Structure 1
Amino acid sequence: MARAEYRDYTGVRAALCDSEPRWLADELSSVNGLLARFLASTAEATNPQALHHAEHLRLLQEATGSLGPVLKIHHQNLAALSECDFRRSGAFPEISRRGTELLERSKARLAESSAALAAAELLKAQQRWLEEAPARKATARETWCTPDPKVGNGDLYFARQSPNGRTEWFFCDGLMVEEVAGGEPQLITPEWLSRRERRRIQSQRYLDAAKAYPASDIDRQPGSSVGSGTAPAEQASRTD
C-alpha cells in the first residue's frame, strides 16, 4: 500500500535527539504520510455499500497484521521528540501535532477491523441466503408435501420472514398466510381456485397452523432476530 522509512531508537546508542534534525524531520514525516495514506485507503472499510468497500476492507485486514509495530515505534519517537532542544523549531511542532492525531485515528481504525470483517462476512451470508431461498423452499415442499395435495388440507411445509419483517407461511395446496410487520395474519388464496375448491377452505385452520409453526423453524436472513407474530417453539409442532 505504501512505504516509509523509520527507525526504532529504543536502546540505540545514538538517541533520537542526537539525530540530524532535517533527516529526522523527513523520517517522521514519512511515517505520518504512511498513516495518512492508510486512513484514506481504508475509509470505506466499514461501509459495505461503499464503492471501494472490498478493496478498503482488504487493506485494513492486511494492516491489522503489519501496522501495529509501526504505530508503537512512531509513538515512542514522537514522545522522545518532546525532549529534544529542536522540538519547537522548523516543522517539528506540526510534525508532532499531526503525528499524534494520525496515531490516534490509526489505532481507532485498526480497532474497527474485527467488526468490519464480521460485517462483511454477515453480508455475504445474507446474500447467499437470498440466492438460495427458492431452493430451500422447493426442498421443504418435496419433503413435507404429497405429490398431489388437495385444496383445503391445510398442510404447512415452509415459512419465511423477509428482511422487511413480512412473514409468509406456505401450504402444500398453494395457499399462503401472510403477516406484514405490525399487522394481523391474513389468508391468501390463489386466483385459480374453483368455487368448489374455495368451499373446502377453512380459513381458521390455516391461521391456526401458521400461529403454531415453530418460530425457530422460520427461514430468516442471517443476523435477524425472531420477530413478532410467531408462536414460541415450545408451544408448536410442525403440521404434516
Structure 2
Amino acid sequence: MNFVSRGLWIVGGLGLALAACAPKRVAPVQNYSLGLSRAGYRDYAAAKANICDAEPRWLTDELSAMNGLMEGFLSSTEQAKNPNSVDHGRHMELLKEASGSLGKVLDVHQANLRALQKCGFAKSGAFPQLGQRGQELVEQSRTRLTEGGELLALQEAQRKWQEEAPQREQTARQTWCAKTEVGSTDVFYARQFADGRTEWLFCDGHVVQSAAAAGSEPTLVSPEGLSAKDRRKVKPPKYLEAARGYPPEEVDKQPTLGGNSAPAHSSDASGE
C-alpha cells in the first residue's frame, strides 16, 4: 500500500468512526394542557430526530400519556350535542378550548405513531396496542373537533338570534299592529326556539304558547291588568285558531343543528 492510499484509508476510517460517534438528535419535550389533562410529547419530525433512537420505556410513557389525554377529551365533550345535559356547558367550553390547539398536537402524535412502525421494537411490549389505540383516538378526536366547530358556530348563531329577537319583534309590531283592540286576534310575530317551544304574539298583548313536547296543547296567556270588560272580549279558541293558521314559513326560527342558520324571514315580513 503506497503512502497516498494509506492516507485515504486512514481518513475514510476516521470519517466512519466520527459518524458512528456523532451525537443523536434529541427532540425536546413539549407540555400540552387541555382542561384538567396534561401530557408531554415530542415532535421528532420537527427536531429532525429519529423516534427509534428514543428510550423505549420513556417513549411508552409519552405515547400512553397522549392517548390518555385524547380519551379524556372525548369523554369530557360527549355531552356537547345534548343541551339538556347538566354537563353541556362544561363540555362546550372544553371544545372551545380544544378548537384552537388540539389539532396541531394530533398531527404530531399521529406522525409519531406512523414513524414508530419503522422501529425494531415496534412489535414488542405495549407498542402494538399503543399504536393501534392511538390511531383510533386520533381519528375520533378529529371527528369530535369537526363536530365541535359546527356546535360552536351554532352556539354563536343562537346567541345572535336571541340578542336580535327583541328588535325583530318591535319592528314587526310597528309594521303590522295598526289596531290593538282586545279580542282582535291579529298575529304580528311568531318565533320558535331551538328546543321546539313556539310563541305567537298578538297585537292586543296576548300570547299563544306551545311547549317543546310533541303533541302538547297550546295555551293562551293574557296580558296583566285586563279590565273585566276586556276579559269578556277574549275568546281563547279564536286566538288558538289564529296561531294554528299562521304561515309556518313566517315563523322566526332559532338556528338548530342541521336546520336554519338564520331567521326564517326578514323583520318587515312578519304578520298576517
Q: TM tier, shorter chain?
A: 0.5 to 0.7
Secondary structure of residue in 1 paired with 2:90: coil
TM-score, normalisation: structure 1: 0.68
Residues 103 and 66 of structure 1: CA distance in aligned 2, closer, same or farther (over 3 Å): same
The question of whether the paired residues in 2 share the 8 Å contact of 1:141 and 1:172 is answered with yes
Match of 2:159 in 1: 127
Q: Shift in Å at residue 58 of structure 1?
A: 2.6
Gaps of 5+ in 1: 227-236
| Equivalent residue, structure 2, for 1:71 | 110
Say whether residues 1:110 and 2:148 are aligned partners.
Answer: no
Q: Give yes or no for the alignment of 1:137 onto 2:169.
A: yes
> Which residue, 184, 197, 213 being the options, matches 2:246?
213
C-alpha distance in structure 2 between counterparts of 1:33 and 1:178, whole Å: 52
Kindly tell me: are residues 37 and 199 of structure 1, through their superposed partners in 2, closer, same or farther at Cα, counting changes over 3 Å?
closer
CA–CA distance in 1 between the matches of 2:257 and 2:149? 18
Q: Distance in 1 between matches of 2:175 and 2:108?
A: 56
SS of the residue corresponding to residue 93 of structure 1 reads coil
Deviation at 1:56, TM superposition (A): 4.8
Q: CA shift at 1:71, angstroms?
A: 0.5
Identify the match of residue 178 of structure 1 among 209, 228, 242.
Answer: 209
Mapping of residues 199-238 of structure 1, within 5 Å: 199-223=232-256
Deviation at 1:26, TM superposition (A): 3.2
Distance across 1 between alignment mates of 2:75 and 2:100:
13
Further displaced range: 179-188 or 112-121 = 179-188
Cα RMSD after superposing both structures: 3.7
C-alpha displacement of 1:57: 3.5
Aligned to 2:118: 80
Take 2:229 and 2:95, find their aligned partners in 1: how far apart are those partners? 61
Are 1:177 and 1:188, in contact at CA under 8 Å, matched by a contact in 2? yes
Q: 1:151: which partner in 2?
A: 182
On the 8 A contact 2:206/2:221 being kept in 1, the answer is: yes
**Displacement after TM superposition at 1:157 (Å):** 0.6
Partner of 1:30: 62
**In structure 1, distance between residues paired with 2:251 and 2:77:** 32
Q: Deviations over 1:8-54 (max 9, x none)?
A: 6xxx9x995xx5xx635534543443443354456534544253642
2:41 matched residue in structure 1:
4
Q: TM-score scaled to structure 2, two decimals?
A: 0.61
Superimposed CA distance per residue, residues 53-103 of structure 1 (whole angstroms, 9 cap, x where no aligned partner): 4245433542324532541342242x334xx3x667xxx402442343233
Task: Please tell me the residue identity of whatever aligns with 1:179.
Answer: S
CA contact (8 A) 1:169 1:178 kept: yes
Quick one: which amino acid aligns to residue 103 of structure 2? Answer: T
Q: How does 1:162-177 map to 2 (within 5 A)?
A: 162-177=193-208
May I ask how many residue pairs the two structures share in their alignment?
214
Q: CA deviation at 1:149?
A: 1.9
Distance 1:168 1:64, change over 3 A: same
State, as a whole percentage, how many aligned pairs show the same letter: 27
